[in-house]
Amino acid sequence: DATLGQLAAAKGRYFGSATDNPHLSDPVYKQILGSEFGQLTVGNTMKWQYTEPSEGRFDYEAADTIVELAEANDQTVRGHTLVWHNQLPDWVNSVPSDRLLNVMRNHITNEVTHFKGRLIHWDVVNEAFEEDGSRRQTVFQQKIGDGYIAEAFRAARAADPNVKLYYNDYNIEGIGPKSDAVYNMVKSFKQQGIPIDGVGMQAHLILGQVPSTLRQNIQRFADLGVDVAITELDIRMDLPRTAAKDAQQANDYTRVVEACLAVSRCVGITVWDFSDKQSWVPSVFPGQGAALPYDENYNKKPAYYAITAAL
């Protein structure tokens, strides 16, 4: 049977998975990761905490392991993520205001340069908006000001003119105040010539709650002249699983795949890891889980077959 990656490729898209270094010691996991997907996202080890744990000391060893694995399996890689308020080492929070812009630029320049030519996308800035569309009051926002996002994109472009530069966030899959804020930012970046190539919709979704405006929302971003990617898809349910919930989840995955395929600039879909064994969901949303297309024993769930049918 064709894999998820092959089916997506036949539609001019990719279908990928996030992964993380500790998982790779499981041979069954590694075999599925390497064969089923056309694209990988490094789930943790490209984040600032890992790549610049103290100022000016850069470490790409763990991330390189995953990039090399992807290359060996002919998979593309999305870079995730350069500027984010989480998994940020403490030292960054103590940088004085007059130095933080240069610290941010230096981090971006070093990391983008390290991976130059080996990634298809970078999530340059992650999760910069609140639900009401206001700016999240991160250290970057507070010490650099509104312009930090544009500065981050400029620094990334200067370091690698070819990698596609993405803004990535959650709860921007449907039309609403938060996606409106991202929309307005992308529109103004385009008007000002600030380099942005894409918007990543994380899509950490809840069972039965795929936004009805998903396709329309992807389309309005595409109409601004940027690509869209579904970057961290999972669809969580209240545990335990039941056949009815699995069926609803399969339907939900179908709707996400169909929405992406309906817009030519929706370039691909990445699940936030592929098996319920490795999912981040149970640790962050107590009582919820079973969000991914494979169960914790690596059996394919109804969601898997729904994705293959929709692709």
Instruction: Please say which residue, 126 or 249, places its beta carbon nearer to ligand XIL.
Output: 126
- C-alpha–C-alpha distance, residues 300 and 83, integer Å: 35
Instruction: Looking at residues 173 to 202 of the shown chain, list those that interact with ligand XIL (rule: CB under 6 A).
Output: 202
Instruction: Please say which residue, 168 or 217, places its beta carbon nearer to ligand XIL.
Output: 168
Which one of residues 19, 39, 44, 138 is an interface residue with ligand XIL (CB under 6 A)?
44
Which one of residues 45, 75, 76, 126 is an interface residue with ligand XIL (CB under 6 A)?
126
Instruction: Please say which residue, 17 or 44, places its beta carbon nearer to ligand XIL.
Output: 44
Please say whether the beta carbons of 147 and 189 come within 8 A. no
Instruction: Please say which residue, 78 or 255, places its beta carbon nearer to ligand XIL.
Output: 78
Nearest in space to 254 (alpha carbons), one of 216, 311, 300:
311
The interface mask with ligand XIL, positions 203-232, x = CB under 6 A, is -----------------------------x
- Measure CA 254 to chain center: 19
Please say whether the beta carbons of 229 and 286 come within 8 A. no
Query: Is 232 an annotated catalytic residue?
Result: yes
Instruction: Please say which residue, 84 or 308, places its beta carbon nearer to ligand XIL.
Output: 84
Report, in angstroms and rounded to the nearest whole number, the Rg of the chain calculated over CA atoms.
Answer: 19
Nearest residue to ligand XIL, by Cβ distance, number only: 280
Active-site annotation holder among 111, 127, 151, 173: 127
171 makes contact with ligand XIL (CB under 6 A)? no
Tokens coding 286: 């107590």
Instruction: Looking at residues 129 to 158 of the shown chain, list those that interact with ligand XIL (rule: CB under 6 A).
Output: none
Nearest distance in Å: CB 247, ligand XIL: 26
Which one of residues 15, 280, 294, 304 is an interface residue with ligand XIL (CB under 6 A)?
280
Instruction: Please give the residue ranges that form the binding site for ligand XIL (CB under 6 A).
Output: 43-44, 126, 202, 232, 280
Catalytically active residues are: 127, 232
